[in-house]
Amino acid sequence: MNFFFEVLIGGLLSGVMYALVALGFVLIYKASGVFNFAQGAMVFFAALTFVSIMELGVPFWPAFALALASMVVLAVVTERVVLRPLVNQPQITLFMATIGLGFLIEGLAQGMWGAAVHGLEIGIVDEPIAWTMDNWGIGVSTFDLFAAGVSAVLVTVLAVFFNKTRVGRALRAVADDHQAALAIGIPLQSIWRIVWAVAGFVALVAGVMWGARNGVQFALTFVALKALPVLIIGGFESVAGAIVGGLIIGASEKIGEVYVGPLVGGGIEGWFAYMVALLFLLVRPEGLFGEKHIDRV
Amino acid sequence: MLYREAGQFKASYKADQQIFPIRQDRIAIGLILAFFYLVVPFIADQYWLQAIIIPVLIFSLAAIGLNILTGYAGQLSLGSAAFMAVGAFGAYNFMLRVPGMPILAAFVLGGLCAAAVGILFGLPSLRIKGFYLAVATLAAQFFIVWALTKFGWFSNNSSSGVITAQKVEILGYTFASPRSKYLITLVVVTLLALAAKNMARSTVGRAWMAVRDMDVAAEVIGIRLMRTKLMAFAMSSFYCGVAGALYAYTYLGTVEPEGFNLDLSFRILFMIIIGGVGTVLGSFLGAAFIVLLPIGLDNLLPVLFGNVLPTGITSNLQLIVFGGLIIFFLIVEPHGLARLWQIGKEKLRLWPFPH
């Protein structure tokens, strides 16, 4: 039983890491209706920029600020070059554009900083906490706990930002109805810039956390693929959904890996999460927290 | 002056129902087909046939498949490469396990396997729409590739699922040279492309378009959603499956499941977006563009920058240019290359008069 709980807790905590990436998708989808496939590339770009600046000898926080600045620049350029000319195009066109954007960002990141694998040390060791080990016999990684803490802080900050600030309210208004928001004088373009910049910030945090765990390398772009099932379980429009979806996916993936994997010969982590997500979708086609829309003829 | 329909009266139902109702179109198609059947085999060398023309034809077929699903029926799919894999492995197994199996029948059966799998993974589309469906089709992509790698039966227990296509033989003649492989590919692609063009304006095709434009409204006017959507999935997967079988038999010869990865799915999606969603012509143009682009970049970059660039930079530059071009195309012509032809057609109608 202890082993089961260890697997479950490990899964929940790694689910938090997925949720971190999924958050970036949700932010952009909420505010601009764009399914941003470049999010994985953005995570990679942010992490690589951050780690490369740090390797130049810059301390942690200034490097973080510089990487954040580069993400803001990226957001502004993206809005100007990609989103603005594609206003009013069907969603699939925008989706394709973000795939193109993903290629561009990947090429840019590797072109600027090289394709080498970088280690990233943020001073958190990845080992089980002794206390839980002694008392309950359950191993919980400190790193995972730290990641969970960071995500909790991030979600709280985002929730406050969305609900209490002027800009946050404007973002929600744009998410509800582009035209109505424009009509009451909310500048759509600057809202998009802000939301892409915030998504860049989330990507940076996610990139640092994932980079610290697996090393900063090209494989970071595939993290986005892990976040997609999270996204469809939680619903594209819901920040809370991203978190809950992350927990569900993380837990079921770990449990599946340990208990189902051996039955079919292992290697199931590539698709298991998608199957779980599919089952959820059959019951709730808009995800758990997605907005239900009523179709009218 | 040259391209004008005026005076072409349709005096019979048969004339009214032709695939190409305009005489100039028929002539043009005839010329193009004659060119590809009679001229290309003699002027193209082995490199052109094997590295460019055959893959363009095969990817066109896969793009037509995806176009049926995404362009005509409006169901976004990110799993087309997986259905190609099913087709390739299906054809391989039929050839392997059934003695005396004719190769063309194996292609069709491979396509039918893909269609069956497509129906299975199309079932969620009855409940899920839009991007949720797109992500759900990723399940097919990852699951199928995993299953083909994991279960040795599919690849006759070869290591990591690599299969080597058997000889392509029809009535005792072996298609071994690039030229003969090109011709057999061309025949299959021509037939299926014409069938797709025809299907698009049949009852089924019109039902697909109704579902694409608004599925609730389509249901209200009496189109059976389930049948229509699953039909689209089946037909699309069939095309992808046949394309996959050709990919294994006439293009690469040796394929592995990992070769049919998400990247390939995306490339097929790019083909239909750049070529034009919901057109058969666009599938060909898009496939040609996406196949030729990397080759063109490979040849162009050394010319522009000399040979001083290290390979790492060139491959990154390629990524950047590829991504940039996709965005550029979407901005300049969101309806794809096929739309340019439409515009050209309108202009031709008036030419040489301004109005």
For A271, the closest of B129, B142, B326 (CB atoms) is B142
> What phi, psi does B163 have (nearest 5°)?
-120, 145
Inform me whether the pLDDT recorded for A135 exceeds 70.
no
**Domain assignment present for A295:** no
Confidence band of A61 (pLDDT split at 50, 70, 90)? confident
Per-domain residue ranges of chain B: 44-350
Please list the alpha-helical segments (H only) found in B50-177: 54-66, 80-97, 103-122, 130-150
- What pLDDT score does B53 carry? 92
- A67, pLDDT greater than 80: yes
pLDDT value, residue B308: 64
Q: Can you tell me the mean pLDDT for A143-172?
A: 83
Give the range of the structural domain holding residue A201, as residue numbers without chain letter.
Answer: 2-283
Query: CA–CA distance from B299 to each of A281, B131, B142, B295, B309 (Å)?
Result: 46, 37, 34, 6, 13
Q: Does residue A242 form part of some domain? A: yes
- Which residues does residue B170 pair with via DSSP β-bridges, in sequence order? B173
> For chain B, what is the radius of gyration of the CA atoms?
21
Long-range Cβ contact pairs of B293-300 (< 8 A, separation 24 or more): B293/B322, B293/B325, B294/B318, B294/B322, B295/B51, B295/B52, B297/B321, B297/B322
* Chain A stretch 84-103, residues whose beta carbon is closer than 8 A to a beta carbon of chain B: 85-86, 89, 91-93, 95-97, 99-103
Number of domains in chain A: 1
The residues in A 40-59 lying below 8 A from B, measured between CB atoms, are none
| Backbone φ/ψ region at B198: left (φ over 0), alpha (ψ -120 to 50), beta | alpha
Instruction: Quickly state the pLDDT bin for A110 (edges 50, 70, 90).
Output: confident
- Predicted pLDDT at B1: 66
pLDDT of the residue at B315: 76
Check residue A133 and give its pLDDT. Answer: 61
A60 domain-assigned: yes
**Which residue type is seen at B123?**
L
Does residue A155 fall inside a structural domain? yes
Encode pLDDT of B165-210 as tens digits.
888 878 878 888 888 889 999 999 999 999 999 998 899 999 999 9
Dump the DSSP string for B80-117: HHHHHHHHHHHHHHHHHHSTT--HHHHHHHHHHHHHHH
CATH class of B44-350: mainly alpha
Distance CA B51, CA B35 (A): 19
Kindly report the pTM of this predicted structure.
Answer: 0.89
Percent of chain A with pLDDT over 70: 91
The residue-averaged pLDDT of A231-242 equals 82
- B261-308 pLDDT tens trace: 888 998 898 888 888 888 899 999 999 998 998 888 878 777 777 666
Per-residue pLDDT of chain B (355 residues; tens, 9 = 90+): 677 777 888 888 888 888 888 888 888 899 999 999 988 888 888 888 888 999 999 999 999 999 999 989 988 888 899 999 999 999 999 999 888 888 899 999 999 999 999 999 888 888 887 778 888 888 889 999 988 988 888 888 877 778 888 888 788 788 888 888 899 999 999 999 999 999 988 999 999 999 998 888 999 999 999 999 999 999 999 999 999 999 999 998 888 888 898 889 988 988 888 888 888 999 999 999 989 988 888 787 777 776 666 666 777 887 888 888 888 888 888 888 888 888 888 888 888 877 7
Average pLDDT over residues A32-38: 84
Q: What is the ipTM of this complex?
A: 0.83
Q: What are phi and psi of A128, to 5 degrees?
A: -65, 150
What per-residue confidence (pLDDT) applies to A132? 60
Beta strands in chain B (DSSP E): 163-164, 169-170, 173-174, 254-255
CATH number assigned to the domain comprising residue A198: 1.10.3470
pLDDT band, very low/low/confident/very high, at A74 (cuts 50, 70, 90): very high
A257 close to B (CB below 8 A): no
Chain B contact set for A89 (CB, 8 A): 330, 334
Contacts of B269 in chain A (CB under 8 A): 96, 99
Q: What is the DSSP letter of A215?
A: -
- Using the Cβ of A256 and the Cβ atoms of chain B, whether some distance falls under 8 Å is answered with no
Tell me if A140 is assigned to some domain. Answer: yes
